[in-house]
A and B are shown apart, each in its own frame.
Chain A
Amino acid sequence: MNNIYQPIKAKIEKVIQETPNIKRFVLKTSEPFSFSTGQFVEMTVPDVGEAPFTPSSNPADKECFDVTVMKVGLVTEKLHQMKEGDTVGVRGPFGMGYPLDKFAGKEVLILGGGVGMAPLRSLLLALLNEPDRFKRVVLCYGAKTPDDVVYKQCFPEWGKQTQLEIKRSIDRPAPDWNEEVCLAPALLEKVKVDQKNCVVVVCGPPIMMKFGTIKILELGYKPEQIYLSMEKNMSCGLGKCGHCNVGPYFACKDGPVFTYDKIKDFPGIWD
């Protein structure tokens, strides 16, 4: 019997403490598993529940994949207590992810905030897999404090990439921080991008998604250039259970990445 609701098992290979409340889990599945960047998985914490996460690793890595998880609810709280060698369940991957074929030949401007950097790390790595395919990549990333910056150990490596420009900010001044101090959307004013030949990718907390999008529109980008990762309550991942609707769309199947023009007229998109 083909059971579309049955998870496969995955072993936690490694746990990396990214920030005080964010951990990255490296997972190895019991059966072959691969994903496209921006697609998500449903992860089961045995006896607790299931929640959607977007892999934060390079989609070209077939051995293992990562999820980066902030401790915010029942499932993530329990997940944070889990150790290397423990077993979780995985279903997926689900959804459409980032349409890299549409990004080809263009500049890719990325706006990320907080743990919203998770899917963007995967995107960044996917873009860097094929540097000639994309014109240039600009990453604007904001976190609350220096402590809250995720992937601290990855940034030095990324900084060496010539086709990648990085701007980082924190919300308020802090000792030993010599980069930008502003809210993440304000970083967009500090970078130069070829607006006519560019896509903008946004992922972060709801409030940043909203004001980020407003800022991007103010700067003159068109709604169809803006790719938003919609965080909704995906439960089945298959467009059946109805939890994640964004207007007529199911975020789990038609998304989770939507261009702003598709969803802008529907209620509750920023909440």
Chain B
Amino acid sequence: MSNETYFISRHDWEEFLRILSRQAELWGLVSQKDRIVFVQVKPTEVDRLIYNGIRSAQPVKTMFYPGRDKLTALNTSKKIIVGMKACDLGAMPLYDQVFLRDGLVDSFYQALKENIILVSADCTEPGTNCFCTVIGLTPFAAKEFDLNISQIAAGLLVETGSGKGKELIKTNQALFKNAESGQIAERDKNRQNTSDRVKEINKEFNLSFDRTVKEHFDSPVWEKEAQPCVGCTACTNVCPTCHCFLLAEADPETLSKIRLWDSCQYTGFARVAGGANPRAKLAERFKNRYYCKYYYRPTKFNQIACTGCGRCIEACLGKIDKRKVIRELGR
């Protein structure tokens, strides 16, 4: 199936969203003080949504994988997510592998995902902490979306990425025009500009994260770099790819469970009854996070468990910059 690209004016696009939101919750990125955040918006407020700019401060994974999920009934409410960036979307294949593979289907994740229309948008304002290009990704999405929007001077270009996306356009065809080659060229130029800016931001960090980590397993640098870490777990909470959870008791009668986000940065995460703990020291847990992202998950799932969104750098109480840690490791 080949992707199709359409042009739509901002006015008509907002009309399109109002039509879609008659049957679904509308979620997207809005400006709040000096940040961009991910929130639910009313159909009457579609003009608040922004498509340009950086990714939201918080990850969009909460939509597929809530921090606290009672595992009793499926949530099949329809939702539209508008404006999520490639660094959130890039985590989806990993989530699919974790929650859907080998016939061990997590129906709760599956139901949430199936009922979401994913409309991604090109990133246009990478921040100083962004490093998607270092990981080998781009600041615009190539797949995993139903529709992707790119803002150009005259309005929006909309690309279809799934049958679901194509169908949505087909039923509202009057609002869309075929994109002209000049418009696509404008989009591609914008994309190139953003990619170049991410590369410029990261010119000091031009190294292979996975190879560097793998080659320095026993480096004393780990201990040193872990010094400012306070084990707060902010990095795992804001990470779009972190998926670890705890199954806790919900109901003693039915024995049903509740699924809560957990973090490998907690002391007791890997501790077993009897007290043995493979990662009793903070530095061991710190190191495990890098190993998980750049070695263990790639070995297991053939995908780096990091999209370069830079949220872990932004959220760190100890002001740890992951890129600098890996650069030190490689020295």
Which A positions have Cβ atoms within 8 angstroms of B?
1-7, 9, 44, 46-51, 70, 72-73, 75-76, 89, 205-206, 231-233, 235-236, 238-245, 247-250, 267-269, 271
A233–B284 alpha-carbon span in the complex (Å): 16
Contacts of A271 in B (CB 8 A): 276-278, 280
Contacts of A47 in B (CB 8 A): 249, 252
Among A51, A76, A239, the residue within 8 A (CB) of B104 is A239
A44 close to B273 (CB less than 8 A): no
**Most interface-central of B102, B252, B280, B299 (chain A CB within 10 A):** B252
A6 (CB) vs chain B CBs: closest residue: B256
Contacts of B255 in A (CB 8 A): 6-7, 9, 44, 46, 89
Contacts of B262 in A (CB 8 A): 241-243
Contacts of A235 in B (CB 8 A): 245-247
Among B106, B249, B253, the residue within 8 A (CB) of A49 is B249
List 17 extra interface pairs beyond A235-B246, A267-B278, CB under 8 A: A2-B107, A4-B105, A4-B107, A5-B257, A6-B256, A44-B255, A231-B272, A233-B271, A235-B247, A240-B99, A240-B243, A241-B262, A242-B292, A247-B299, A268-B279, A268-B284, A269-B278
Given contacts A240-B98, A267-B278, contact A5 B272 (CB under 8 A): no
- Residue pairs across A and B with Cβ atoms less than 8 A apart, 19 shown, are A4-B105, A5-B106, A6-B71, A9-B255, A44-B249, A49-B248, A50-B247, A50-B257, A72-B273, A89-B255, A235-B247, A239-B98, A243-B246, A245-B270, A247-B296, A248-B300, A249-B300, A269-B278, A271-B280
**Quick one: which of B263-310 are within 8 Å of A by CB?**
264, 269-274, 276-280, 284, 287, 291-292, 295-297, 299-300
Among B74, B269, B277, B296, the residue within 8 A (CB) of A1 is B74
CB distance from B195 to the nearest CB of A (A): 31
CB distance from A117 to the nearest CB of B (A): 15
Contacts of A238 in B (CB 8 A): 104
A63–B302 alpha-carbon span in the complex (Å): 42
Given contacts A4-B106, A46-B252, contact A242 B71 (CB under 8 A): no
B249 close to A46 (CB less than 8 A): yes
B274 close to A5 (CB less than 8 A): no
Contacts of A51 in B (CB 8 A): 273
CB distance from A68 to the nearest CB of B (A): 14
A76–B297 alpha-carbon span in the complex (Å): 32
B244 adjacent to chain A (CB < 8 Å): yes
A152–B269 alpha-carbon span in the complex (Å): 35
Contacts of A240 in B (CB 8 A): 98-99, 104, 106, 243, 245
> Chain B's interface: helix, strand, loop or mixed, by majority?
loop
Among A44, A73, A236, A269, the residue within 8 A (CB) of B274 is A73
CB distance from B197 to the nearest CB of A (A): 34
**Most interface-central of A48, A238, A243 (chain B CB within 10 A):** A243
**Quick one: which of B309-323 are within 8 Å of A by CB?**
none
A48–B249 alpha-carbon span in the complex (Å): 7
B259 adjacent to chain A (CB < 8 Å): yes
A175–B259 alpha-carbon span in the complex (Å): 51
Among B104, B107, B271, B273, the residue within 8 A (CB) of A75 is B273
A6–B273 alpha-carbon span in the complex (Å): 23
Contacts of B246 in A (CB 8 A): 235, 241, 243
**Quick one: which of B212-254 are within 8 Å of A by CB?**
217, 243-249, 252-253
A3–B287 alpha-carbon span in the complex (Å): 34
B275 (CB) vs chain A CBs: closest residue: A72
A206 (CB) vs chain B CBs: closest residue: B276
Contacts of A249 in B (CB 8 A): 300
A242 close to B243 (CB less than 8 A): yes
A244 close to B249 (CB less than 8 A): no
A244 (CB) vs chain B CBs: closest residue: B270
CB distance from A209 to the nearest CB of B (A): 10
Given contacts A44-B255, A89-B255, A269-B278, contact A4 B244 (CB under 8 A): no
4 nearest interchain CB pairs? A268-B278, A242-B244, A248-B299, A73-B273
**Quick one: which of B92-126 are within 8 Å of A by CB?**
98-99, 102, 104-107
CB distance from B86 to the nearest CB of A (A): 24
Contacts of A242 in B (CB 8 A): 243-245, 262, 264, 292
B245 close to A236 (CB less than 8 A): yes
A67–B99 alpha-carbon span in the complex (Å): 29
Contacts of A206 in B (CB 8 A): 274, 276
A48–B262 alpha-carbon span in the complex (Å): 18
A233 close to B269 (CB less than 8 A): yes
CB distance from A19 to the nearest CB of B (A): 15
CB distance from A65 to the nearest CB of B (A): 18
CB distance from B252 to the nearest CB of A (A): 4
B245 close to A248 (CB less than 8 A): no
Contacts of B253 in A (CB 8 A): 46
